[in-house]
Structure 1
């Protein structure tokens, strides 16, 4: 009697398992994701209920006590333990405490490349309760000045290798900013932080300097172009920093992992997910000054790396390296990042082995994020019943010609159908706030959409087009507005246009991004109208852009037009120009290509175009 019953039960379980796999194939992946989110939320809530405002800095300080001799940062073969980093960051704090007028809450700008002192200065300033503004180390001239002015810092700390960049703008810095350099040799008017560190105390800084009363207080400013205009300092609160630091833990990383960080620390991925993630885990990170495709796997083998962070371009460059017999000879088990194309994804796994790819989506200043917890190739995440309970987002119709969301006769926005790209927007409320940008409040307002589906509702505009398939997987489609991504960076078209427009023979400039075969993102292209009776000086255009723009923002292509089309809202028409691209066989206007060897723009011939499309000419 018992045997038939057990047999029936077993058959029922097998049938239910088969049915679940058939009808709800991602059920357990969704449950796992939900449990991790709930665990993180409960952990934060318990801290608050206990009256503890536990920040990333507090976590680091506790680790420096519990595991002082454990390596925290490995950089160019040198090892910096948790105790080493704690003591040197305390030296930074004591120097600034004793030799400056900095006080709690003051913004301080940090301009440094990837190096241990970036972390030392960051944590040292955090110990004083200062808000640290991470400056993009690629910026120069007016762009750098704009960023410094927008975050209104009381001081600027600069790395030795970037001191020349600051010297160029030194006479134009706002009054009242003290400039500190991680260098023994400094020009007049700059204070040597290195010199003062040698005699500074490394004793713990009194907690009263940095203790916070609310997780909503500002911790960092991280610059982002958003969807319009020049870079803006996004406010990163203590809560956002904590959430970012929990990312690696949520993906299954542990204290035993060794994490390879080649992404720039001035971005949220490198700083919050990378360094912050290592602190949350109590793990070790291998920090690289700059990504090198030829050294990548050798570094992974040398330091026993188990996890690395990526952007799509990074994996693309690794796949382009010459094949070697030992391509799968490593201990890497996990890669976390964003922007990985499906074809590169497949090629990467086929060549380098069974590495779990954790593709994610999230804007630095945004209140919405997705995680691809199933490993579905090409997807940035998946929405499900559980996700909808936690986050309110929509994909709405967007008018590409007018460059604005579509509204019906009643004035409401309209959700798109599955399979149709739509603008991703996220509901702003008490549980999912949007903290905006420091400085000019209009920048914060421009990122919000009001009265979207009903009177009084407010949504954050991500500026990204996403589409959802029939299985509810989400895929990145494109960016809107006046930015595009190239080389892993957001390029602000208005910034590029302003730089080119400074030339006395240019009347008007329209900048946009164009897709290029086998490249992530879009390459910059500038459509130009010349002033009457003036000729085009290609060498001057080249000199102008390389002098005033970071390398990733320099337009790869020029197009000379006689007139510019405008939209119904009197904006420069970009949509058709993007569609037309840079094919000389389809465009009758003169076209030019940026030639770094000749230090000029050269005519874009059919032969040169073919070389670009075949990948024989690097962009």
Structure 2
């Protein structure tokens, strides 16, 4: 019988062998974990599973989808009631940051309890004075400020549906945006937006004469709703919840889309739940988060994926009035933010800006920068320059029911919109979203095999991102689509994709998957491009240009500009005289074009470049844009095209040459 010494020798031998092999095991595990990201999946499974169970319980048992309840619970909780929910930083009247430094700013602070009480008092005013009831749709024309947040939550308390208008819109796009949702009233930021709104007010009332226009002034309203003696209104739970389902609209956000005027995208209670509770899990947004954002709240980025995660995770939202490169890090520092939100251009502006004392003081204090549209080459520069621990890139759209997420700390996933683990990849691909191959000779058409079904693209091959509809017989329970626009809603739906009877939602965006499953955005499809962090509808721009008597046809496409994020507007024009006018006459046409786009289009929608050319029509009398796509600056592929650029200071179009284009590329001339 072996002695204890023999057993000890065997154990010692095995131990020595194990430790000798340990470097190899460790290297194998490192490679395996990099490829399949097992630890990433492990960190997601339990918290994501718990939140999924929470939503199932909410859907089947409580039927309480309104997130006002969660904010109310936080505000009345002894643990969180005195915690800061909202910081707001803005310039003092007459002050200049470059001259006055920190003294140029004032910062307002609101605890969860203070915010809740203010919301109840504001609810009383909106309900009793202005007659807003449960089920009403209320449009908001507001800049970033606490009153935006208070109105939003007050409408949720009442049971009304807020619709966030882009305050850059005027004239036709604004009229359409209001009319399409059939609101009870429009609430106007009288402090910052009254003058802009009034440019289009008569057009709005002509189109929608029963609309109630309510101007709200900060300095008049805030003292009332901050006064503890002011009356409060809390809607009855029974009234607030009556008839509400998870797929019903929680709020409306506008998107340009591809059919002309802005469309109002339904953002359901389910989508808001995912944004508030599921989105923060892979992004690692916890109650310790203090999120600074100067992104406009009328966008889903700032509101749905900015404010909601902050409040529902019981963190802090630090709100900037609007983005400023020069004072950005001062505002982050003065609000003590540890998380910042971006869109791609913001990051480029920050990286290219001169170094400041504020960024040196705050180096390494931001744990997460998250947003969408961050360029791959800017990504590591942003992290290294400002000492940011992690980048959180996501992909979402105003109408999409889900978002992808990529949190990058160690280099895995730089430039990606998703970098989940292998198991999460398979689960999401089967239940949430995936990619489909496109026709080899046409990126706008989805490929179908001989059996009539779609296929997933190979590694490195472009494919369109599509989102699964859980109940194909009732599309709107997953994809509510657009308000009062059934055609646009169902045009996004594709059926019989991987098997008979399934249904998916098209994104109109092309992606690419790498060898370890990361997904990267490659390009937008169709007639929409993104410029200055906004989606621009080419049809909308074309409609404005065609209002000019001198223009017979026009084609607007997105154009890449050296050192600039996204694509800007590039208009090809054909006059009624087939471009045979004299140089002086063409100059007059250009002056009218400049006046039209500056007056009637938001700054991001104005064509930055224009040229005259013959525009061909297809057999169905549609304009063929194929040869105009991907224009080459400054003078086309041949170097002989005569192109004009929009001089924003002079408000006119000027000839573009190599020198002026280089100045645009270096941002000496801003477009």
Shorter-chain-normalised TM-score: which range?
over 0.9
Q: Structure 1 residue 464: deviation in Å?
A: 0.5
Distance 1:159 1:367, change over 3 A: same
Determine the structure 2 residue equivalent to 1:293. Answer: 325
Contact 2:366–2:387 (CA under 8 A) maintained in structure 1: no
**Matching residue within 43, 53, 68 for 1:42:** 53
- Secondary structure of the structure 2 residue equivalent to 1:168: helix
Map 1:41-120 → 2, pairs under 5 A: 41-48=52-59, 50-51=61-62, 53-66=64-77, 67-76=80-89, 77-120=107-150
1:50-76 Cα shifts (integer Å, max 9, x gaps): 535253211111111113332211112
**Matching residue within 369, 386, 396 for 2:424:** 386
Contact 2:177–2:263 (CA under 8 A) maintained in structure 1: yes
Report the Cα distance in structure 2 between the residues aligned to 1:372 and 1:427, rounded to whole angstroms.
Answer: 20
For structure 1, list consecutive stretches of 5 or more residues without a partner in the other structure: 186-191
**Matching residue within 632, 639, 662 for 1:581:** 632
Contact 2:140–2:186 (CA under 8 A) maintained in structure 1: yes
Determine the structure 1 residue equivalent to 2:298. Answer: 266
For structure 2, list consecutive stretches of 5 or more residues without a partner in the other structure: 1-7, 90-106
Q: Structure 1 residue 90: deviation in Å?
A: 1.6
RMSD value over aligned CA atoms? 2.6
Distance 1:409 1:11, change over 3 A: same
Report the Cα distance in structure 1 between the residues aligned to 2:25 and 2:620, rounded to whole angstroms.
Answer: 57
Contact 1:399–1:405 (CA under 8 A) maintained in structure 2: no
Q: Structure 1 residue 328: deviation in Å?
A: 4.4
Contact 2:330–2:358 (CA under 8 A) maintained in structure 1: no
Q: Structure 1 residue 399: deviation in Å?
A: 6.7
Is 1:317 paired with 2:352?
Answer: no
Q: Structure 1 residue 349: deviation in Å?
A: 1.9
Contact 2:276–2:308 (CA under 8 A) maintained in structure 1: yes
TM-score (norm 2): 0.85
Q: Structure 1 residue 587: deviation in Å?
A: 4.8
Q: Structure 1 residue 248: deviation in Å?
A: 3.2
Report the Cα distance in structure 2 between the residues aligned to 1:33 and 1:551, rounded to whole angstroms.
Answer: 41
Determine the structure 2 residue equivalent to 1:166. Answer: 197
**Matching residue within 219, 240, 260 for 2:271:** 240
Q: Structure 1 residue 529: deviation in Å?
A: 0.5
Map 1:423-502 → 2, pairs under 5 A: 423-430=464-471, 433-502=478-547
Report the Cα distance in structure 2 between the residues aligned to 1:293 and 1:456, rounded to whole angstroms.
Answer: 51
Determine the structure 2 residue equivalent to 1:531. Answer: 576
- Secondary structure of the structure 2 residue equivalent to 1:236: strand
Determine the structure 2 residue equivalent to 1:361. Answer: 395
Report the Cα distance in structure 2 between the residues aligned to 1:554 and 1:608, rounded to whole angstroms.
Answer: 19
**Matching residue within 151, 170, 179 for 1:121:** 151
Q: Structure 1 residue 389: deviation in Å?
A: 1.8
TM-score (norm 1): 0.92
Is 1:281 paired with 2:313?
Answer: yes
Report the Cα distance in structure 2 between the residues aligned to 1:402 and 1:10, rounded to whole angstroms.
Answer: 53
Distance 1:12 1:184, change over 3 A: closer
Distance 1:341 1:101, change over 3 A: same
Distance 1:568 1:472, change over 3 A: farther
Is 1:608 paired with 2:660?
Answer: yes
1:239-266 Cα shifts (integer Å, max 9, x gaps): 1111111223542222222110111101
Q: Using the TM superposition, name which of 369-378 and 548-557 deviates more.
A: 369-378
Q: Using the TM superposition, name which of 130-139 and 2-11 deviates more.
A: 2-11
Q: Structure 1 residue 202: deviation in Å?
A: 2.7
Report the Cα distance in structure 2 between the residues aligned to 1:546 and 1:520, rounded to whole angstroms.
Answer: 21
Report the Cα distance in structure 1 between the residues aligned to 2:150 and 2:607, rounded to whole angstroms.
Answer: 36
Distance 1:229 1:385, change over 3 A: farther
Aligned residues: 612
- Secondary structure of the structure 1 residue equivalent to 2:64: coil
Distance 1:48 1:7, change over 3 A: farther
Q: Using the TM superposition, name which of 354-363 and 106-115 deviates more.
A: 354-363
Contact 2:292–2:341 (CA under 8 A) maintained in structure 1: yes
Q: Using the TM superposition, name which of 457-466 and 320-329 deviates more.
A: 320-329
Q: Using the TM superposition, name which of 44-53 and 54-63 deviates more.
A: 44-53
Determine the structure 2 residue equivalent to 1:329. Answer: 361
Report the Cα distance in structure 2 between the residues aligned to 1:129 and 1:108, rounded to whole angstroms.
Answer: 11
Q: Using the TM superposition, name which of 226-235 and 543-552 deviates more.
A: 226-235
Contact 2:271–2:402 (CA under 8 A) maintained in structure 1: no
Is 1:307 paired with 2:339?
Answer: yes
